[in-house]
Amino acid sequence: MKKILFAASEAVPFVKTGGLADVVGSLPKYFDKKKYDVRIILPKYACMEEKFKKQLKYVSHFYVELGWRKQYAGILEALVDDIHYYFIDNEFYFAGDKPYGEIYQDVEKFAFFSKAVIEAVKRIRFVPDIIHCNDWQTGLIPVFLKNVYHKQEEYKKIRTIFSIHNIRFQGRWMIPTVKDITGLPDKLFTADCLETYGESNYLKGGIVSADAVTTVSKSYAMEIMTPEGGEGLDGVLRQHSYKLFGILNGLDYEEFNPQKDKYIPYNFDSQTVFEEKAKNKAILQEKMGLPVKKDVFLVGMVSRMSDQKGFDLVDYMLDEILYHENIQLVVLGTGEDRYENMFRHFAGKYPDKMAANVGYSEEMAHLIYAGADAFLMPSLFEPCGLSQLMSLRYGTVPMVRETGGLKDTVEPYNKYEGTGTGFSFANYNAHEMAAMLRTAMEVYYKEAKEWKDLMLRGMQQDYSWISSVSEYELLYQSVGEIMD
Ligand code: ADP
Ligand code: GLC
């Protein structure tokens, strides 16, 4: 039995700000239980919902040395769907109303978390074969293991995998402060390990020190090795390309299942999608305060409002599109003020065509996936993207930019061959996005049969975890073997 410990800063159902939580909270469920014991370790944030906090049981506590500091670390535990979740408790670091704060706080918070995870494995009596780390918040785990804990008996054999879900966020901060926080030796703050551009960089530390590095789609794995996509780390990744693998995310098909989804008023499958989606659509329109119309092209967006998601293109074209086209747009999201205000503005200007729900709602998100005709995701970059996978599963036709995981999962419609699952455009250009939208509308309004076929082809795709899990299993094996 191989023991794997997933270390991450968020995971469903306990805490979620984006797709990382979906991945960490679902992937572990799908490993072969006869061969793998996969567990998860997270911070215990004060902002976690009360109902989740109540489930946690005290296991143990200890103190973590961070430079000259000695900090309390409690360990709590919960069991969900037969998966063990552990939590590191510290009311100073994990206070606040959100998981993430200012970067200068977060670099200390996640240095503490990373060291606490390593120390915790002895106390929970689960010394794993592999710690599977995720994003910069856990980047110091491989660094500590390889350089500080490597001589200790319990830790000698632990291997690490480092998964990059978004290379934009790197955990960069001033070297003297990070030396002080971590107590790591001076020799690690060079270009061979933690240093980039004169700063300390947790993501780079993770890449350099881990036994293998993965990212969440094959296209993104290529993109991050280029100057355009590497966010300054493309050289580091090219240097470590021998251990870099692109493994596509899957979707939790139990959670995102239109037949059983408890958030949607009318459940459906590919037999009933046409009638039932129409009913969900009417409810969506009503809840969003739009005129309830059957035959208007209803586009949904559910997203963090960040420039990553292509909102600058939307901003550029939205007035023109809403003015001229027979379209409705529903948007759910929170994030940067400039985008929230842009959507509020257009919702005010075109109340019959546009509705903005500035907030976070699991229920509304599912209703949009179930009730919209099409889903717009014109991302500037997209490591994988889960929203387009949810759309496909719910018979909502994705309209995406060909980047990262979007390119790998949405096959553009080909009217001559009757193939494809969505619409796409190549360059980050607002007019190309508008042209794609108009092409989609042409099909929707004029080729009803073709549109229905597109929906069905999308629903038939399999983006469950099944195939990706076997890729991870192979990787776990090879990482173990190389080192044994
Ligand atoms: P990212 O992780 O970059 O935000 P993904 O597409 O991988 O993008 O995952 C986003 C996840 O967050 C999806 O599960 C999506 O439904 C969800 N989500 C984003 N914004 C909201 C929101 N405002 N309300 C509810 N769910 C949201
Ligand atoms: C990041 C990426 C997103 C990806 C998710 C899960 O948040 O932005 O594309 O799907 O991580 O891997």
* Residue 259 lies inside a defined structural domain of this protein: no
Question: Which residues lie closer than 8 Å to 138 by C-beta, 6 or more apart?
Answer: 7, 8, 9, 110, 113, 114, 117, 162, 206
Q: Is the CB of 249 under 6 A from ligand 1?
A: no
Structure confidence at residue 47 (pLDDT): 97
Cα distances (angstroms) measured from residue 451 to each of 119, 244, 297, 397, 415: 55, 39, 11, 9, 10
Ligand 1 pocket, residue 302 CB under 6 Å? yes
Neighbouring residues of 169: CB distance < 8 A, sequence distance ≥ 6: 135, 136, 203
Rounded to the nearest angstrom, the distance between the alpha carbon of 344 and the centre of ligand 1 is: 19
- Encode the chain (484 residues) as per-residue pLDDT tens digits: 999 999 999 999 999 999 999 999 999 999 999 999 999 999 999 999 999 999 999 999 999 999 999 999 999 999 999 999 999 999 999 999 999 999 999 999 999 999 999 999 999 999 999 999 999 999 999 999 999 999 999 999 999 999 999 999 999 999 999 999 999 999 999 999 999 999 999 999 999 999 999 999 999 999 999 999 999 999 999 999 999 999 999 999 999 999 999 999 999 999 999 999 999 999 999 999 999 999 999 999 999 999 999 999 999 999 999 999 999 999 999 999 999 999 999 999 999 999 999 999 999 999 999 999 999 999 999 999 999 999 999 999 999 999 999 999 999 999 999 999 999 999 999 999 999 999 999 999 999 999 999 999 999 999 999 999 999 999 999 997 755 4
**Residues flanking ligand 2, CB < 6 Å:** 18-20, 23, 165-166, 216, 249, 382-386, 405
Residue 8 lies in a domain: yes
Q: Which atom of ligand 1 is nearest to the CA of 166?
A: 3
Q: Is the dihedral of CA 294, 295, 296, 300 positive or negative?
A: positive
CB 424 within 8 A of CB 400: yes
Same domain, 327 and 421: yes
Q: Domain total for the chain?
A: 2
CA torsion 473→479→481→484, rounded to 10°? -140
Range of the domain at 409: 273-462
Do residue 473 and residue 454 come from a single domain? Answer: no
367 assigned to some structural domain: yes
Q: Separation of 213 CA from ligand 2 center, angstroms?
A: 15
Q: What is d(CA 137, CA 42) in angstroms, rounded to the nearest whole number? A: 11
Residue 268 lies in a domain: no
Ligand 1 close to Cβ of residue 22 (< 6 A): yes
Instruction: For residues 447 and 476, state if they share a domain.
Output: no
Q: Among 12, 22, 287, which residue has the most ligand 1 atoms within 8 Å of its CB, making it the best to mutate?
A: 22
Q: Which token pair is 420?
A: 């494809």
Q: Which ligand is nearest to the CA of 20?
A: 2
- Flag whether 258 is in a domain: no
Give the pLDDT of residue 484.
Answer: 47
In contact, 265 and 235? CB cutoff 8 Å: no
In this structure, is residue 260 part of a structural domain? no
Which bound ligand lies closest to the C-alpha atom of 304?
Answer: 1
- 296 and 421 in a single domain? The answer is yes
Can you give the pLDDT at residue 481?
74
221 lies in the same domain as 347:
no
Q: Are residues 131 and 223 in the same domain?
A: yes
Give yes or no: residues 188 and 337 share one domain. Answer: no
**Judgement on whether residues 232 and 340 belong to the same structural domain of the protein:** no
Is residue 208 within 8 Å of 244, Cβ to Cβ? no
**What's the rounded Cα separation, in Å, for the pair 124 and 131?**
14
Query: For a pocket test of ligand 1, which of 303, 362, 401 has the largest count of ligand atoms closer than 8 A to its C-beta?
Result: 303
Ligand 2 atom at shortest distance from the alpha carbon of 386: 10
> Does the pTM exceed 0.85?
yes
Is 265 inside any structural domain?
no
Q: What CA–CA distance (Å, rounded) separates 377 from 400?
A: 5
Ligand 2: atom nearest CA of 216 is 12
| Residues 68 and 205 reside in one and the same domain | yes
Q: Which atom of ligand 1 is nearest to the CA of 20?
A: 2
Nearest CA to ligand 1 atom 9: 19
Euclidean distance between the first and the last CA atom of the chain, given in angstroms as a whole number: 15
Same domain? For 438 and 477 the reply is no
User: Do 285 and 222 share a domain, yes or no?
Assistant: no
User: Could you tell me which of 401, 387, 404 has the C-alpha nearest to residue 463?
Assistant: 387
Q: Judge whether 409 lies within some domain.
A: yes
Element (H, E) at 480: helix 466-483
**Do you know the residue count of the chain?**
484
Give the domain CATH number at 213: 3.40.50.2000
Q: Is residue 208 located within the same domain as residue 181?
A: yes
